Amino acid sequence: MEDGLCTTCQHVLFVKLTREEPYVMLKKSDKALVGNDRFEGFCIDLLKELASILGFSFEIHLVPDGKYGFQDDKGQWNGMIKEIMEHRADLAVAPLTITFMREKAIDFSKPFLNTGISILYRRPNSTNSGFFSFLNPMTPDIWVYILLAYLGVKLSLIFCYRFSPYEWYDAHPCNPGSDVVENNFTLLNSFWFGVGSLMQQGSELMPKALSTRIIGGIWWFFTLIIISSYTANLAAFLTVERMESPVDSADDLAKQTKIEYGVVKDGATMSFFKVRASEMSMIFWNRQSTSFVKSIEDGIQRVLKSDYALLMESTTIEYVTRKNCNLTQVGGIVDSKGYGIGTPKGSPYRDKITIAILSILEDGRLHMLKEKWWSSSSCLEDERYETGPMGIQNLGGIFIVLASGLVLSVFVAIGEFIYKLRKNAEHEQVRLIGN
C-alpha cells in the first residue's frame, strides 16, 4: 500500500461493448496489443493522469455484460455497479453518471465531466424555397427602411431642385427676352432618377446644382452598399441550405406522436425518466418504453435510418455530431449531472482520487484531455452555422450616412438660394446705377 492506495489496482473497469467513443476505444495497430495497451480514449488518459499523481498501477478489464449499471424492480444491479458492489473491481473509470440510486450502492468521486440529457436527431432536409425567398437576405424592417429612404431622397430632390436656382435654365435660349425657365427634375423624373440609381441602371437626368449633386452622390453610394450587401447575402442563402427541425426541445418531442424517441436500455437516462415525477417525464417513460436501444451505437444507427430521436448525455452528443455531419443536437439540456469514478463503499481510494481530479481540473490538464478527444471534426465549420438575414445592426450605418447627406444638401440648397439672391440684388443695383 502507498498513501492509502494499492500498488497495483486490479480490475479497473472500462466499457467497450457499449462502444462509448471517445471515452474507451480499442487502439488501432498493426501489432498485436495486449493488456492495457489495447485501449485508448479520454478515460484511459484520465486514468493515466491519476495513476501518475497518486503513484499506483492498474490493470484494465471489461465489464462482462457491457452495461454501466441499472437496478431492476427486484433491487438487483447489473453492469459496472454490480462489479464494484461485489468487490470484483477497485475502480470504475468510464462515463458513469452519478445518480441518487447509484450513490446509495457505491461511492463516487467528484465529477470529472459535467453533462446533461439532450436529444440526438438527424439533420433535417432543407426547406422548400418560397415564392418570395428572394426577400430573405434582409429583414422586413430593412426593406421598409429602404422604401422610406427612397421617399426621403425623393422629397429632398423636390425641395432642392425647386429651391436651388442652379437647377433652372432658360427654356428658350434663342430668345433673349424670354422669362420662361424650366427644370428637368419634375415630380415623375425625380422618382425615375431614384429608381434608376437603385437598380444600378442610371438615368438620363444629371444634377447641376451642388445640393442636388450631393443628393445624387450620397444616394448612389447608398445603393452601392445595399445592392452589394444584398447580392452577397443572397448568394450565401442559395449556397448554404437552411435547416428546419420538426422539434426544438424535449417538450416538443413529448407533445408529438410522429417521431419515435427512446433511450439506451439500463442506462442513467432511462433511470432519470423512470423515477422522475414530472408530467413530461411520465409522458416520455410511457411512450418510449417500447423504443429502447441496446447501445448508443444502435441508437445512432436508428436515428440515421428512421424517424427516431435518441435521448442521451450531451457530452456524447457533442462528440457524435462532430464525427457524423448528418446528426445534430436538438434543444438544450434537460437536467444537469456529472460523470464520476466509482469505488466500493468505504473505499480508501475515493477521497484521494477526488483530490487528484480537482488538481488536474484546476491546472487545466482535464480541459486539455477533453480538447484532445473532442476538438477534431470531420464536418466543415460552415455547415454548423446558418446564414441569417441582414438587419439594422448590419446596415444601420449606411442609413445614417444617407440621412446626413440629405440634411447637408438641404442646407446647401438654402445657401445657394441666398447666394443667388444676393448676386441678383447686386446685379440689379449696378444696372440701376448705370441707367
| Predicted confidence band of residue 287 (pLDDT cuts 50, 70, 90) | low
Residue intervals in the chain for CATH 3.40.190.10 = 8-115+337-379, 250-334
- 204 in a known ligand binding site: no
pLDDT in tens, 218-230: 988 999 999 999 8
Mean pLDDT of 34-51: 90
More confident residue, 198 or 140: 140
Whether residue 384 contacts residue 241, with contact meaning beta carbons closer than 8 Å, is answered with no
How many angstroms separate the CA atoms of 12 and 343, rounded?
A: 10
How many angstroms separate the CA atoms of 149 and 253, rounded?
A: 45
Using a pLDDT cut of 90, give the percent of the chain over it.
Answer: 24
Whether residue 142 contacts residue 395, with contact meaning beta carbons closer than 8 Å, is answered with yes
Mean pLDDT of 383-408: 82
Q: What is the full DSSP assignment across 93-157?
A: -SS-B--HHHHHHSEE-S-SEEE-EEEEEEPPPBPPPPTTGGGTTB-HHHHHHHHHHHHHHHHHH
| Predicted confidence band of residue 29 (pLDDT cuts 50, 70, 90) | confident
- 322 in a known ligand binding site: no
* CATH number of this structure's domain 8-115+337-379, picked from the four choices 3.40.50.300, 3.40.190.10, 3.30.1120.80, 3.40.50.11890: 3.40.190.10
User: Mean pLDDT over all residues of the chain?
Assistant: 80
Return the pLDDT at 16: 40
- 127 in a known ligand binding site: no
Mean pLDDT of 172-198: 65
How many angstroms separate the CA atoms of 45 and 23, rounded?
A: 9
CATH code for the part of the protein at 250-334:
3.40.190.10
Flag whether pLDDT at 42 surpasses 80: yes
Using a pLDDT cut of 70, give the percent of the chain over it.
Answer: 78
Return the pLDDT at 361: 93
Count the residues in the chain.
Answer: 435
C-alpha grid cell for residue 46? 484520465
- 97 in a known ligand binding site: yes
pLDDT in tens, 324-382: 888 988 888 888 889 999 999 998 889 999 999 999 999 999 999 999 999 876 665 54
How many angstroms separate the CA atoms of 322 and 384, rounded?
A: 10
More confident residue, 177 or 199: 199
pLDDT in tens, 59-113: 888 888 888 888 888 889 998 899 899 988 889 998 999 988 899 999 999 999 9
How many angstroms separate the CA atoms of 426 and 399, rounded?
A: 41
Whether residue 250 contacts residue 331, with contact meaning beta carbons closer than 8 Å, is answered with yes
- 328 in a known ligand binding site: no
User: Within 13 Å, how many C-alpha atoms sit on residue 165's CB side?
Assistant: 10
